């Protein structure tokens, strides 16, 4: 099963938006990066799935120094281009434009696979996780972070709910379909990993406080997610109407100079054998 829809999305406007918002997103998700860096301690060959603009990949590579290396893969050419720019002359990090679900990884290489919100977009999750396992050594670990349900993540869905009366063409969230909340059902995810041959599968709740400066909220909401995508196709008057409706929906998350919310996630843990 191919991933054409996701390829078009992340090589188009969505990918460009993430490149533009790289610094803001990296800072907002820094707690997840720190967690995965700790998981990588002592590893030699690490793969970062859905690496985006490379923040986690680079942080892991820095932590390993000359004792290990990290490869970041993503289907978004614009984001990989930014990641390569950020890597500079670093010798223990590499980036590749690739769909990790079907890419041919050399066998018996990887001892750790990590992902910060990059594994929910596979067209065929079982085949994708099986493909990832094919590149691992015996006893390799999988440590991936994925979103739980939309209901548990009101910050991530507030803009859509408020903007819906003005933007009737907003795409509906389809349960289990590739996308941000594809892994909302933890038991389903456990089954996917086990069907792909992973062992000692453990799906744990992970609640993390994330924050961004209040002054950046408008730019974030007007560029990112389904609402940000939809606003690219409307005139300025409609943008203002949408923003007038969306802004009050974020009052519960406003704390002075900061916007804070709880990211309700899963930590997916498994071993290759």
Give tens-digit pLDDT for 50-88: 999 999 999 999 999 999 999 999 999 999 999 999 999
* Close Cβ partners of 169 (under 8 Å, ≥ 6 residues apart): 230
Task: For residue 224, name the pLDDT band (cuts at 50, 70, 90).
Answer: confident
Q: Report residue 273 CA to chain centroid gap.
A: 26
Contacts of 33 (CB under 8 A, 6+ apart): 26, 55, 56, 59, 116
Averaged pLDDT for residues 175-184 = 94
Q: How many Cβ atoms sit within 10 Å of the Cβ of residue 215?
A: 10
DSSP 94-147: EEEE--TTT--PPSS-EEEEEEES-STT-SSHHHHHHHHHTTEEEEEEEEEEEE
- What are the tens digits of pLDDT across the range 193-210? 999 999 999 999 999 999
State the pLDDT at residue 2.
Answer: 56
Q: Looking at residues 96-110, what average pLDDT do you find? A: 96
- Dihedral through CA 177, CA 183, CA 186, CA 191, nearest 10? 60
What average pLDDT does range 124-128 have in this prediction?
97
pLDDT tier, 147 (very low <50, low <70, confident <90, very high otherwise): very high
The pTM of this model reads 0.94
Match 């997610």 to its residue by tokens.
225
Mean of the per-residue pLDDT values of the chain: 94
- pLDDT exceeds cutoff 90 at 4: no
More confident residue, 201 or 233: 201
Which residues, 6 or more positions from 208, have their beta carbon under 8 angstroms from its beta carbon? 31, 32, 35, 262, 263, 265
> Percent of the chain having pLDDT more than 90?
80
Domains of the chain, by residue range, sit at: 4-149+174-209+264-271
> What's the rounded mean pLDDT across residues 21-47?
97
pLDDT of 1 higher than 70:
no
Query: Which one, of 213, 220, 209, 210, lies nearest residue 256 by Cα?
Result: 213
pLDDT for residue 5:
82
Tell me the pLDDT tens digit for each residue of 250-260: 999 999 999 99
* Confidence check: pLDDT of 26 > 90: yes
| Fold adopted by 4-149+174-209+264-271 | Rossmann fold (3.40.50)
User: Which pLDDT score is estimated for 169?
Assistant: 81
Half-sphere exposure of 245 (CA within 13 A, CB side): 16
Q: How far is CA 242 from CA 116, 151, 162, 247, in A?
A: 30, 22, 8, 9
pLDDT tens figures, 258-271: 999 999 999 999 99
| DSSP 8-state assignment for residue 40 | T
Q: Which two tokens stand for residue 109?
A: 């290489």
Q: List the beta strands (DSSP E) in 129-234.
A: 136-147, 199-213
234 vs 32, which has greater pLDDT?
32
């Amino acid at each position: 099963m191919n991933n054409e829809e996701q390829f078009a999305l992340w090589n188009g406007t969505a990918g460009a938006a993430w490149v533009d918002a790289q610094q803001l997103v990296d800072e907002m998700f820094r707690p997840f990066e720190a967690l995965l860096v700790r998981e990588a301690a002592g590893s030699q060959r690490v793969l970062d799935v859905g690496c985006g603009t490379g923040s986690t990949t680079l942080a892991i590579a820095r932590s390993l120094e000359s004792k290990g290396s990290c490869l970041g893969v993503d289907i978004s050419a614009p984001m990989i281009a930014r990641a390569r720019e950020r890597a500079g002359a670093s010798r223990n990090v590499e980036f590749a434009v690739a769909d990790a679900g079907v890419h041919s990884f050399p066998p018996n290489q990887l001892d750790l696979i990590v992902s910060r919100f990059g594994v929910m977009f596979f067209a065929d999750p079982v085949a994708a996780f099986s493909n990832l396992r094919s590149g691992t050594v015996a006893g390799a670990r999988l440590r991936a972070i994925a979103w739980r349900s939309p209901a548990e993540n009101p910050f991530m869905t507030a803009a859509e709910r408020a903007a819906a009366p003005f933007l009737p063409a907003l795409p509906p969230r389809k349960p289990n379909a590739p996308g941000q909340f594809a892994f909302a059902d933890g038991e389903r995810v456990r089954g996917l990993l086990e069907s792909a041959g992973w062992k000692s599968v453990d799906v744990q709740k992970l609640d993390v406080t994330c924050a961004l400066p209040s002054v950046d909220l408008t730019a974030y909401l007007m560029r990112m997610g389904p609402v940000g995508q939809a606003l690219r196709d409307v005139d300025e008057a409609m943008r203002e109407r949408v923003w007038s409706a969306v802004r009050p929906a974020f009052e519960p998350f406003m704390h002075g100079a900061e916007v804070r919310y709880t990211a309700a996630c899963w930590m997916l843990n498994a071993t290759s054998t």
